[in-house]
Structure 1
Amino acid sequence: MNTWANSPVIAANQTLIVERGSNLTSVSRQIFSDQSPLYFRSSILYARLQNQTAIQSGEYQLDADDSWQAILDLLESGNTVKRQVTLVEGWTVKQALEHLHSQEKIERTLSSVSDESLIAILPEGYKHPEGWFFADTYQYQLGDSDLDILKRSHQKMRDVLDTGWQERDQNIPLQSAYEALVLASIVEKETGLDSERPVIASVFTQRLRKRMRLQTDPTVIYGLGDSYKGNITRKHLRQKTDYNTYVIKGLPPTPIALVGAEAIQATLHPAAEEYLYFVAKGDGSHYFSKTLDEHNKAVREYQLVNRAKEYRSQPLNQ
């Protein structure tokens, strides 16, 4: 029997789904369904003799020429098929949820970002989920739900943010870790260049110190919601919303996007610069200025006179 158990029993690669509550008998029937009943009876007897009847549910990859012993070892180990899903920096939580719902094998349990189940995992007192999920790549397996992944993402955000806040530069003009998260989301939306994030963060911290309005377009766009059609106008900049930092003073009420470790690090440790302005150069980078006069000249240079033919505000790889 040992010789049989260590001989190939699978002719081709295949996926085996072991449902919750399944036992070895039902799984053996799946595997040997097109073979002689002798195989089925022998497989159960062998497993009992080896004391390998306890199996774990999930999705398994069986390879061609796998033996019954190899399959038993796999089912006992719980080494199920793992997939990956990435939540991207700068996405809104709505975009992240839509992306999760587009992935195969992720169970859909959340109806929207206002779902009570999603709100329930936030810290006490917070009713808005934006920004509370860490942009990263997550592994998942059959049976995992959208909420399962977002719970892990949320816990990672709390861990990273709490640690970062404890180690922050003490002179930054922020009163709480949540304010840092709000500002980090703005930094995340303003640049995709790692080297620029600390400088962008320094511009906003300087503005907060001087009680200047932040005047950042991504907050305006976020406040417009679905009414924004891809082209920001002067009318938009004057339109009062809770997020229009051309109109309101200080930070908007919530983050505006998912952030990653780099944006949080830059916000809590901004560059030692005295810039107050920046303008997109059209190649994905920015020109930084200390005075309004210098900034206005840069705007004319990069936005009007010599505007890049293939203008972009983010690097090509973003």
Structure 2
Amino acid sequence: MPQAKSKPKSKKKTPDKAAHKIFKGIVIAFIALFIIGAIILKMSIFKAYPVEGKKQKLSISHGETYTGFIDELAKDDKVSFPIILKLYRKFFIHDTMKAGVYEVNQGMNMRQVLQMVSDSNNAQMNRILVIEGTTAKQLIQALKNDPLVNKSVVKLPTAQLLKDLNIPYDHPEGLFAPDTYFFDKGATDKQILTDLYQRQMKILNEAWEKRDPNLPYKDKYEALIMASIIEKETSVDRELRQVSGVFYRRIKLGMRLQTDPTVIYGMGDKYTGKISKQDLRTPTAYNTYTINGLPPTPIALPSKKAIEATMHPDDSENIYFVATGNGGHKFTSNLSDHNRAVQEYIEVMRAKN
């Protein structure tokens, strides 16, 4: 009797083959992730820093941050995946950016540049930014805090500092030219301040020589005082000569200057961000609401533009101005128009609040 044929058994995957397939998939995924990660790293951390030519100077300002620096590079399409650079900085660079001028060689990658600017010893030069309208006190304090400046005079009393710098004035305010400067790493504070003083005097002397006739300033130092006030009253370049004209006419008419920045300067450390009516009535040597004419010294470091505007006031009839609340000022020639401009300013500020 013939035997019945057995049914063919269905092929089943053995555990070993299933595990092998899973493992193979994991390996492929890992390799894919590795390749993607490598591409991302190459386009971010290991991407060559953009250099024009064989080498390039990189200037880092005081207070500049890695976040701002990386965002600026990303904005200019010089790096991709800025988040990777920020993560690298967070976990591998445990310090802040150090101000100075660094030399970046062709071929250096972003990782090397980020590491380099965390150590001021790598700086080739020191970048010193003197902002127009800041004070001599702020400048001297910045030099005190700058690790790349060799200190020799900034810790001296003011009278001794001026004497050591051969400056023939009793007060340092207004005497140093605001600008961006580059000095060798380790330059002395005396060298830096002397250079800034000489530049400011050159600007002042040249502007004084070319001044309009019949200005109400008896000498160039009084003009420097006025330039510092103008500098503090407006940050809009086109308004400098208009502000100059207002104060020029007030002095000619025998009016008080009545300018808030002088009151603030006279308050010194008592100023906390707001001026009260009592502050306007409290006499100081700088309160132009209570004194006639100019204060005894400048109140800030005026720019070249402000100094030149002082020497060439506009020829309008305006003797008042007030902020618009939207940037800039409104200039008027009579009190009724000025009062309307003040009311308009108040309404704009109320609408914003």
Q: Give the TM-score of the pair, scaled to structure 2.
A: 0.63
One-letter code of the match for 1:201?
A: S
Deviations 1:235-286 (A, max 9, x none): 0000000000000000000000001110001000111111000001112300
The equivalent of 1:114 in structure 2 is 158
Residues 26-49 of structure 1: CA distance to partner in whole angstroms, max 9, x if unpaired? xxxxxxxxxxxxxxxxxxxxxxxx
Q: 1:122-181: CA deviations, max 9, x gaps?
A: 543x21111111111111112212221111000001111011101100122111100100
Aligned to 1:178: 221
2:353 paired with 1:279: no
> How far did 1:229 drift?
0.7
Asked if residue 161 in structure 1 is aligned to residue 204 in structure 2, the reply is: yes
Counterparts of 1:119-130 in structure 2, within 5 Å, are 119-121=163-165, 123-124=167-168, 126-130=169-173
Query: Given the alignment, which residue of 116, 123, 137 partners 2:180?
Result: 137
8 Å Cα contact 1:223/1:243 also seen in 2: yes
TM-score, length of structure 1 as denominator length: 0.70
Where does residue 293 of structure 1 map in the other structure? 336
1:305 corresponds to 2:305? no
Structure 2 CA distance for aligned equivalents of residues 132 and 203 of structure 1: 24
Give me the identity figure in percent. 42
The match for 1:19 is: none
Amino acid aligned to 1:306: V
Task: Give SS of 2:158's match.
Answer: coil
Secondary structure in structure 1 of the residue aligned to 2:331:
strand
Q: Match of 1:89?
A: 132
Structure 1 counterpart of 2:304, from 261, 265, 269: 261
Pair 1:216-2:296 in alignment: no
3-state SS of 2:349 partner: coil
Q: Does structure 2 conserve the Cα–Cα contact (< 8 Å) formed by 1:134 and 1:156?
A: yes
Instruction: Give the conservation status (yes or no) of the 8 Å contact 1:113–1:129.
Output: no
Aligned-pair distance for 1:101? 2.7
Inter-CA distance 296–141: structure 2 relative to 1 (3 Å threshold): same
* SS across alignment from 2:318: coil
Amino acid at match of 2:283: K
Higher relative contact order (CA 8 A, sep 6+): 1
Counterpart among 263, 268, 288 of residue 225 in structure 1: 268
Which amino acid in 1 is paired with 2:158? Answer: S
Alignment-mate amino acid for residue 162 of structure 2: L
Change (3 A) 1:90 1:119: farther
| 2: CA distance, partners of 1:255 / 1:239 | 20
- 2:349 and 2:104 map into 1 onto residues whose CA distance is 57
Structure 2's unaligned 5+ residue stretches are 1-54, 56-100, 108-122
Provide structure 1 residue ranges, at least 5 long, that are not aligned to the other structure: 1-12, 14-58, 66-79, 312-318
Aligned positions, number? 238
Counterpart residue type for residue 118 of structure 1? L
RMSD: 2.4
Query: In 2 relative to 1, CA 276–81 (structure 1 residues): closer, same or farther, beyond 3 Å?
Result: same
Query: Secondary structure of 2:262's match?
Result: helix
- Conserved 8 A contact 1:118-1:147: no
Alignment check: 8 A CA contact 1:87 1:96 kept: yes
Q: Give me the whole-angstrom Cα distance separating, in 1, the residues matched to 2:166 and 2:292.
A: 26
Note if contact 2:144-2:155 (Cα within 8 Å) is conserved in structure 1: no
AA aligned to 1:92 is: T
- Structure 1 CA distance, aligned partners of 2:237 and 2:102? 39
Deviation at 1:307, TM superposition (A): 1.8
For the structure 1 residues 112 and 226, does the alpha-carbon distance in structure 2 shift closer, same or farther, using more than 3 Å as the test? farther
Name the structure 2 match of 1:147: 190
TM-superposed deviation, 1:308 = 6.0
> Given the superposition, is the C-alpha separation of residues 84 and 253 from structure 1 closer, same or farther in structure 2, using an over 3 Å criterion?
same
Q: Distance in 1 between matches of 2:165 and 2:352?
A: 43
Q: Which amino acid aligns with 2:155?
A: S
DSSP-derived class of the 2:127 partner: strand
